[in-house]
Structure 1
Amino acid sequence: MSHYNFTRRHLLGAAATLAAGAAQGALAQPSSGKRPNILWIVSEDNNAYIGAYGDKLAHTPTIDGLARKGVLFRHVYSNAPVCAPSRFGILTGVYPESCAPANHMRANAHWPEAFKTYPQLLREAGYFCSNNTKTDYNCDVKPEAIWDVQGPQGHWRKRPANQPFMAVFNYETTHESRLFKPTAGRVTPDMITLPPFLPDTPGIRQDYASYYNMMEKMDGQLAERLAELEADGLAEDTIIFHYSDNGGILPRSKRYCYEEGLACEMVVYAPPKWRHLLPVAPGHELTSPVSFIDLAPTVLSLAGVAQPAQMVGKPFLGPRASAKTYAFSMRNRMDERYDFQRTVTDGRWRYIRNYMPHRPWGQHQAFEWLAKGYQDWESAHRAGTLNADQDRFFQPKPFEELYDLRQDPHELRNLAKDASAKPQLARLSKALDEHMLAINDNGFIPEALAGEGYFESRNRALYPLPQVMELARAAVSGSASTAQLLAGLDAKLPVLRYWAAMGLLIHRPAAAKPALQKLLAQETCDQIRVLVAETLVHLGEVEEPVKMLTTLAAQDRVWQVQLQAINGLTFIGEAARPALPVVQQAALSEQEYVRNAARYLSAVLEGRYTPSLPIMDFERLMQRMKG
């Protein structure tokens, strides 16, 4: 009988894998038992569509079995609602927004050479560390330099005898890309109950059914991996984590700062000899918030390794375990679309602050829109058949959102202006401000502007964060007067001018037109030029601002500025038509996000766009599905 109470079918399914391991000649490498082995089984893009979490449609016996014998984490959150920034935080123990451009999806931030990742620290402490296989760390860390074995051969079986191990296995079975074709199984579309923010369409129902079936398939793969562990005689010495790298992939999930995008599933099992390292008794839940920024400190705690100062999370297991009050998350650029959100939850309430409220939640993204659910949702929006809750996704955002997750689990009733919720709003807003200052949030630096980076952004002469936050809040919320915003355009620092210009773009006061016209000719910062030009078009000035956006969208600019300009052109509608030749040229770019944004805008201006039009080409899609 399996130690984990798996089904016989799952155990038999592991036979081929076990045989392959035997051929490698390393099946039974017992550890010394003085320190626990640690096994991370990471699946992709999962909300808690799992039986142990109370989902009656789910068929996940492996995860349910781990939860019965271990700890289920009721309120566990990724630090970004998408993989690459989330994985940066998991690897480094540093918030991605502390080390721009790691806060963007996807980027290549510089990881300070003075800092070490958790596998480096574990290896120094005598652990064998392997990763099989995904990295996607959103920074310039070289994976082969931090792991003992990185890639398809990564396995605890590669370690020397008696050496404790930390092994990571990543499963892409539930990745977003797998949703683009239906997955058959025990759950069928007619069995689905849809959330009220979505229309009832065949495509959306099929996406939900496919997701359940993908989850069941993934659960069986986990059973095979755990059967390997048991067959190798390592089950009694190994602490097992199963978690997802970010929230789910169904409409309004991945990329969005709601529960569906950030709330993940996680269970941890510790065998009897290591059970004292768990915070609650086996079979119980942990209800205090847990954040993925806590994963690296937790592993170090379990291994008895000191936590370095740059890792700001709190261990939730082991001798240094402590509860926390809040989990913080963020969003900046997602693929080719810019946005800026910060959010905090205590598990009961969620507060969201939108620093770009003029942009709708539902900005078209080439990869995301390959899912039939998003195509159906936008088609219904264009047809005018959505109710107010369903159509909100395609509308501009409020500056602040506040939801009572107990009473409103679908986050539809924004209580930010409700007098009865004022204490909660004040408490969470204050907590978020304190957090952003404490971690030195880089998100206010427009992408590719000087000052990005963990140490670079700590230069207050270049990036005075308290002053920037104060200006940004006033500019975006509308509490700053037009005169104050115009005065901000004269600031010496580009980041301050940027947020003054952002406020004028959001609120578009007619009185600002003369100053903006002057600034368009004199401003030297391209990122600010983009904002000024878009604002002037909305204020009725077209020719010169569109020329500016066209110039900035040309191929001779850094790709981030080019992308920002194409986004600006996208949101001025028909006024962007004179830029079409340059946009068509950008649609041939080798830079993925520039190419996709330009292809979309070209299709719109040429009258070819429909929600089902594929913006990404198939070959590039297949390359992305491999990673």
Structure 2
Amino acid sequence: MARGEAIGPVSRRTLLGAAAAAAAAGPSSAAGQARPNILWLVSEDNNPWLGCYGEPLARTPAIDRLAAEGLLYRHAYSTAPVCAPSRFALITGMRAESCAPAHQMRARARLPAFATALPRLLAQAGYYCSNNAKTDYNCDLDPAATWSSQGLSAHWNDRPAGAPFFAVFNHETTHESQLFKPTPGPVKPQDVDVPAYLPDTPGVRTDIASYHNRIAVMDAQIGARLAELEAAGLAEDTIVFHYADNGGALPRTKRFCYDEGLHCGLTVRVPPKWAHLLTARPGETIDDPVTLVDLPATVLMAAGQPIPAHFQGRPLPGLRGGAGRTWAFGGRDRMDERYDLVRTVTDGAFRYIRNYAPHRPWGQHYAYPWQMTAWQDWETAHAAGRLNPTQARFWSAKPAEELYDLRADPDQVSNLAMRAAHRARLAAMRRQLDAHMLSIRDGAFIPEGSSLEDYAAQQDEGRYPLRRAMTLAARCIARDPANAAGFMTGLSDDSEVIRFWSAQGLLMLARRAAPAAAAMTARLSAESSPQVRVALAEALTHVGPPDAPLAMLAELSAHEHPRVRLQAINALTYAPDASSALAAVEAAVKDKDGYVRTAARYLAMVLRGEYRPDVKVFD
């Protein structure tokens, strides 16, 4: 489908009818299928702690067999270290950053008319498309109109006779929620290795062991589904993918742009009948870095369908049409109730990370994962001063840039960004990341809740000056007081994006922005954008009398837009002393938006002196 071509809503009846028509036009037996079936077996929050990836504690015979009979992708990555933005890419073939606010966790982006979902493209070609059962696509897709069948009973068995199928089965067995209580099994706490960045506590060891045991349970479920496929006589006509929707579930994995948050297992088995789709031999390992946004293009290639021009992925290497590649890109934005902004690139050997919010620590409190004992143990040890410098680093402000040697430093704790020996590599990876962000029109710099969160606006350099924003943001994260005058000038710019990032630059300077305090105060009263007012007010809490900016943040915590309210609560969380805003924070504890509620509940506990890491904040 050419870019810009619109396809209207497709009903369930139309989807089923297309599959039935295709079946009537061709042979009805599996052996006579003209196109392969495609099966996606998805595991959640799952680093490749698998035998086929060399994990010595793994008990994963089903996935290991799949890899032995197919292709194993050594360096496969999700586009985001959390499910919803990652699943947006899997269903649309586009990176979530290209369609704001899809890059923010649990947002609802409006898809452009041409962005037809993968199952609908396949249904138009006669495929029966079933999804069992998770969606979480971060956009306005209607699952009932997207799939031939959707839900816990969705199955390839319901297809019309002779129709090829595209079936998805999602396994929540390894989801982080499964670590909120221990899972006993063959891997014991004393068996595991604790990464260098975590404290070695009984709770941390128990959760790591539980994760291994959950993976073993998941593998058995994968094995049962493969056995079902074989018993139905469909294995020789079905291309099978196993992959995880994002990286791991343990602390500093999910939500974070280290390998632990983005690195996924990915195996693809192509049966002999369809070997002409392969350019590698079964059993080979592919070392090219790939991302999950490549999967939709791979599926369309295998189904013999054209790949739409707007797709940002390509068929996987090792398969027909899958050229080699050098770089895999990813990033994170708001995760649950906390704001951060990170972009990253890897070649599989090194990872470069750019932190666009270096004034925020890695260790922001998240209500949902803090139900895990390992998270509680880590923060408790930090508060008690029991961490070594490597473990304590997580609770401090971030550098603007990070660079890690993934082979020599798999835990990614030794930042090489300032080492002269890596200057050329750092410069090359910077250039690659910049070029990528420009090529996809990354919506990173649009403040959440802005009217610019629209695909057409995001593509328009006049409305969304991405190049200017990237240059400005680079100055912000340098945190050089010499840039303060430029930030002050930017506060009067016509573009909301430039004003927002100028305010962010002053906020990142903190006390060093004090000479601009009077001008910032004057601008605060004239600013029309509530998102810019939040950033300016927080900046002012660091450079002058806090009463007026704290009052402004308290007022904005009751704004009509839930994301402005959330930004205000986050700003109050990091203001030097927000005790005068306690009444507004306590009112926000009753907010109808769940993220606002949990952020406010945490802050209220902190301000009242009642917070402990083991206190449940999530509702």
TM-score with structure 1 setting the length: 0.92
> Which residue number in structure 2 is paired with residue 587 of structure 1?
589
Q: Which contiguous aligned blocks of 4+ residues in structure 1 show a shift greater than 3 angstroms?
A: none
SS of the residue corresponding to residue 568 of structure 1 reads helix
Alpha-carbon distance in 1 for matches of 2:29, 2:47: 35
Contact 2:441 2:466 in 1 (8 A): yes
> Which residue number in structure 2 is paired with residue 5 of structure 1?
none
- CA deviations 1:447-502 (Å, max 9, x no partner) are 01121122221122211111111111112223562111111111111110111110
Alpha-carbon distance in 1 for matches of 2:274, 2:422: 43
1:559 corresponds, among 559, 562, 572, to 562
Contact 1:76 1:263 in 2 (8 A): yes
> Which residue number in structure 1 is paired with residue 358 of structure 2?
357
Alpha-carbon distance in 2 for matches of 1:214, 1:133: 19
Alpha-carbon distance in 2 for matches of 1:261, 1:541: 40
SS of the residue corresponding to residue 406 of structure 1 reads coil
**TM-fit CA distance, 1:310:** 1.0
Equivalences for residues 207-606 of structure 1 within 5 A: 207-316=207-316, 318-478=319-479, 481-508=483-510, 509-554=513-558, 556-573=559-576, 575-606=577-608
Deviates more, 1:37-46 or 1:276-285: 276-285
1:91 and 2:91 correspond:
yes
Alpha-carbon distance in 2 for matches of 1:143, 1:394: 40
1:43 and 2:43 correspond:
yes
Contact 1:277 1:318 in 2 (8 A): yes
Structure 1 residues 279 and 75, CA, compared in 2 at 3 Å: closer, same or farther? farther
**TM-fit CA distance, 1:114:** 2.5
SS of the residue corresponding to residue 130 of structure 1 reads strand
- CA deviations 1:21-52 (Å, max 9, x no partner) are xxxxxxx9736332111100001000011111
Alpha-carbon distance in 1 for matches of 2:324, 2:160: 36
**TM-fit CA distance, 1:116:** 0.6
1:610 and 2:612 correspond:
yes
Aligned amino acid, residue 284 of structure 2: H
Contact 1:476 1:502 in 2 (8 A): no
Alpha-carbon distance in 2 for matches of 1:216, 1:29: 35
**TM-fit CA distance, 1:69:** 1.1
Aligned amino acid, residue 487 of structure 1: T
Aligned length: 588
Equivalences for residues 97-116 of structure 1 within 5 A: 97-116=97-116
Aligned amino acid, residue 527 of structure 1: Q
Aligned amino acid, residue 560 of structure 1: R
Contact 2:514 2:544 in 1 (8 A): no
Contact 1:95 1:293 in 2 (8 A): yes
Contact 2:517 2:544 in 1 (8 A): no
1:157 and 2:157 correspond:
yes
Aligned amino acid, residue 166 of structure 1: F
SS of the residue corresponding to residue 32 of structure 2 reads coil
- CA deviations 1:253-291 (Å, max 9, x no partner) are 000000000000011111111233234211120000111
Aligned amino acid, residue 518 of structure 2: P
**TM-fit CA distance, 1:111:** 1.1
- CA deviations 1:575-614 (Å, max 9, x no partner) are 2111111111110112110000000000001111000010
SS of the residue corresponding to residue 183 of structure 1 reads coil
**TM-fit CA distance, 1:416:** 1.0
Alpha-carbon distance in 1 for matches of 2:128, 2:414: 49
Contact 2:280 2:319 in 1 (8 A): no
Alpha-carbon distance in 2 for matches of 1:309, 1:46: 31
Alpha-carbon distance in 2 for matches of 1:499, 1:31: 59
**TM-fit CA distance, 1:506:** 0.4
> Which residue number in structure 2 is paired with residue 180 of structure 1?
180
TM-score with structure 2 setting the length: 0.93
Aligned amino acid, residue 335 of structure 2: M
Aligned amino acid, residue 529 of structure 1: R
Alpha-carbon distance in 1 for matches of 2:137, 2:552: 35
Alpha-carbon distance in 2 for matches of 1:332, 1:291: 18
Q: Which runs of 5+ in 2 are unaligned?
A: 1-27
Alpha-carbon distance in 2 for matches of 1:91, 1:164: 19
Alpha-carbon distance in 1 for matches of 2:618, 2:413: 32
Contact 2:85 2:137 in 1 (8 A): yes
Contact 1:187 1:213 in 2 (8 A): yes
Alpha-carbon distance in 2 for matches of 1:111, 1:510: 43
Aligned amino acid, residue 115 of structure 1: A
Alpha-carbon distance in 2 for matches of 1:319, 1:32: 22
Aligned amino acid, residue 521 of structure 1: S
Aligned amino acid, residue 459 of structure 1: D
Contact 2:33 2:237 in 1 (8 A): yes
SS of the residue corresponding to residue 226 of structure 1 reads helix
- CA deviations 1:207-242 (Å, max 9, x no partner) are 001101100001111111111101110011111101
Contact 1:29 1:232 in 2 (8 A): no
Equivalences for residues 24-103 of structure 1 within 5 A: 30=30, 32-103=32-103
SS of the residue corresponding to residue 108 of structure 1 reads coil
Percent of aligned positions with the same letter in both sequences?
A: 52
Alpha-carbon distance in 2 for matches of 1:29, 1:265: 33
Alpha-carbon distance in 1 for matches of 2:263, 2:468: 32
Aligned amino acid, residue 239 of structure 2: I
Aligned amino acid, residue 515 of structure 1: A
Alpha-carbon distance in 2 for matches of 1:115, 1:31: 34
Alpha-carbon distance in 2 for matches of 1:360, 1:47: 24
Aligned amino acid, residue 134 of structure 2: K
Alpha-carbon distance in 2 for matches of 1:242, 1:453: 33
- CA deviations 1:403-439 (Å, max 9, x no partner) are 1111111111111111110111111110110010000
